[in-house]
Structure 1
Amino acid sequence: MAAALLALVMTLLLAPSEARAEYGDVVMNNYSDEADMRPVVFPHWFHRIRFRCKVCHGDLGFEFEAGGNEINMLKIIDGEYCGACHNGNIAWGVENCELCHTGKPGTETQVHGSTLKRLVTPASQSQ
């Protein structure tokens, strides 16, 4: 019984599906729609509990603004931005598209649940 329950939980966790962004996640859709790919949902807090801000925002050059970087797959493959770690050695590599490209097509680049976005976007336009 426990093995069956564990198998069910693992299947649900690992099954490719549209990811729901959680508060603080960054949805990146600068190029995804044009490339007929789902947007990337970057789990910011998952990374933040493991690394200091300096690692990504200082050493790797990420801007402190959603959409502030010109990240594309060529740069990632060349080891820039996400590719510094997601190279198949430190973390999974670029051949595992479905692990990052999990967002709902058409979702704009944003910090999900951003208080600032709620303050400047009329309620009728917010998602």
Structure 2
Amino acid sequence: MSKESKGIGPAARLAALVLLGCALFAGLVPPDARAEYGDVVINNYSDKSGMRPVVFPHWFHRIRYRCKVCHADLGFKFQAGGNDINMVKVIDGQFCGACHNGEVAWGIENCNMCHSGKNGTPTQVHESTTNSLVGGGTRPAPAAAGGTK
């Protein structure tokens, strides 16, 4: 036994292992997601079905695809809540299901990847200049909030 470990008993070693295990586990479990500026919260059916609302990261998709891909080719309206999206349609390859099919992007078996919002969050463009944050307060639009569609 080395000099350094003489003073450490089995209980202290167990406590250290438990703390290490908790720290590692905490890194594997994602925290509750919060919608960011420009994200679209979709909660037309989720609360009623016992699921968390969908948080759609609009700008994450927008930097990869032109607006027409979703809003013309896939038929998404330019209004939060303007589409009658449900899981049957997604499974059938409509709306989000056109890409989230397990080939282009992850499939529907990863429920929590999309259904990550806080229960009770209404359908809206989150933190926009016309909507409040889910915890209070508002954030002004960025200075360069223009753009083309």
The bucket for the TM-score relative to the shorter chain is: 0.7 to 0.9
For residues 68 and 116 of structure 2, what CA distance do their matches in structure 1 show? 26
Partner of residue 105 from structure 1, selected from 119, 127, 134: 119
**Which of 43, 65, 69 is matched with 2:83 structurally?**
69
Residue aligning to 1:5: none
Kindly indicate whether structure 1 or structure 2 has the higher relative contact order, using CA contacts under 8 Å at least 6 residues apart: 1
Q: String of CA shifts for 1:82-114, please: whole Å, max 9, x gaps.
A: 000000000000111010000000000010111
Identical positions, percent: 69
Partner of residue 57, structure 1? 71
1:91 is the counterpart of 2:91: no
Q: 2:41 aligns with which of 17, 27, 30?
A: 27
| Runs of 4+ more than 3 Å apart | none
1:90 partner letter: V
CA RMSD for the aligned pairs? 2.0
- Higher Rg: 2
In the TM superposition, what is the alpha-carbon distance from 1:126 to its structure 2 partner? Answer: 6.6
**SS at 2:49 equivalent:** coil
Q: Which letter maps to 1:28?
A: I
String of CA shifts for 1:33-59, please: whole Å, max 9, x gaps.
Answer: 011000000000000000000000000
Give, as a single letter, the amino acid of the residue that structure 2 aligns with 1:30: N
What TM-score do the two structures reach when normalised by structure 2? 0.70
Q: Cα deviations across residues 64-95 of structure 1 (Å, max 9, x unaligned)? A: 00000000000000000000000000000011
